[in-house]
């Protein structure tokens, strides 16, 4: 290898690394904006309960560390209902084939959401999809297991109804003790 070839190879490797960095940065930006939109949707879906003082919501900062992006700050959304809290907890963007992940943790279960790219869905935009729902009491849904087994599956898109279903599955069941 001549010096010129060596230097040229070094430059192209450096350009490739820069391209990779740009890719992750762009993906992070897209995901952070989608997380913000998700919080907006959730507050809209809970609007009447918030107005009536049944539910309060607040955001708290969280640091995420990922191999290519390093550490960065995001906000967790916490939904408070009496003594029970549900956390909408962003996990990051460095995942294969999806644009980012958010977990929803309740006291009786958890759900996983992925931001799916438009070409993976029937929508013409990126959408939040429910990938798995593990509740202690009833529902267990894992579309991911099917996907990895090679079963073609469209994940349910997150909307007002599916969000309601998630909350009712991952929160403690109401037991009337009176």
Partner 1 sequence: MKANFSPSGSQPHFESIWSCYGVSQNSLIAYRASILANFKAGKALPAHFTGMRERQFEEYFEQCRKELDYVTCLQLLSAIEAILRLDFLGRVNKLRPNSKIDQAFRDIFEVKTFKVNLEEDILDKWKEYKPACVNEIGTLKQILRFRNWLAHGRYWQPRFPKYAPLQVYTIGKNLLDCLQILNGT
Which residues would be at the binding site for partner 1 (CB under 8 A)? 16, 19-20, 23-24, 27, 67-68, 92, 94-98, 101, 114, 131, 144, 147-148, 150
Residue 94 Cβ vs partner 1, minimum distance, rounded to whole Å: 6
Tokens of 169: 């599955």
| Closer to partner 1 by Cβ: residue 98 or 171 | 98
| Closer to partner 1 by Cβ: residue 94 or 159 | 94
H or E element in which residue 59 lies? strand 56-66
| Closer to partner 1 by Cβ: residue 19 or 83 | 19
| Closer to partner 1 by Cβ: residue 67 or 70 | 67
Residue 113 Cβ vs partner 1, minimum distance, rounded to whole Å: 11
Reduce the DSSP state of residue 5 to 3 states and report it. Answer: helix
Residue 103 Cβ vs partner 1, minimum distance, rounded to whole Å: 12
Does residue 133 contact residue 141 with C-beta atoms inside 8 Å?
yes
Burial of 79 (0-12, 13-18, 19+ CB in 10 A): buried
Q: Which residue pairs, CB below 8 angstroms and at least 24 apart, start in 116-122?
A: 116/155, 121/154, 121/155, 121/157, 122/154
Residue 43 Cβ vs partner 1, minimum distance, rounded to whole Å: 27
């Amino acid at each position: 290898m001549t010096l010129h070839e060596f230097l040229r190879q070094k430059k192209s490797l450096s350009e490739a690394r820069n391209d990779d960095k740009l890719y992750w940065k762009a993906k992070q930006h897209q995901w952070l904006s989608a997380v913000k939109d998700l919080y907006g949707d959730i507050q809209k879906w809970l609007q009447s309960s918030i107005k009536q003082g049944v539910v309060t919501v607040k955001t708290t900062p969280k640091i995420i560390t990922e191999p290519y992006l390093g550490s960065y700050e995001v906000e967790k959304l916490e939904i408070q209902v009496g003594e029970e809290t549900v956390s909408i907890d962003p996990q990051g963007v460095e995942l294969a084939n999806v644009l980012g992940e958010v977990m929803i943790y309740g006291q009786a279960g958890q759900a996983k959401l992925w931001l799916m790219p438009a070409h993976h869905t029937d929508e013409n935009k990126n959408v939040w999809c429910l990938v798995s729902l593990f509740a202690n009491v009833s529902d267990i849904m894992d579309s991911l297991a099917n996907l990895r087994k090679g079963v073609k599956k469209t994940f349910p898109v997150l909307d007002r109804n599916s969000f309601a279903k998630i909350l009712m599955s991952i929160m403690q069941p109401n037991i009337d003790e009176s």
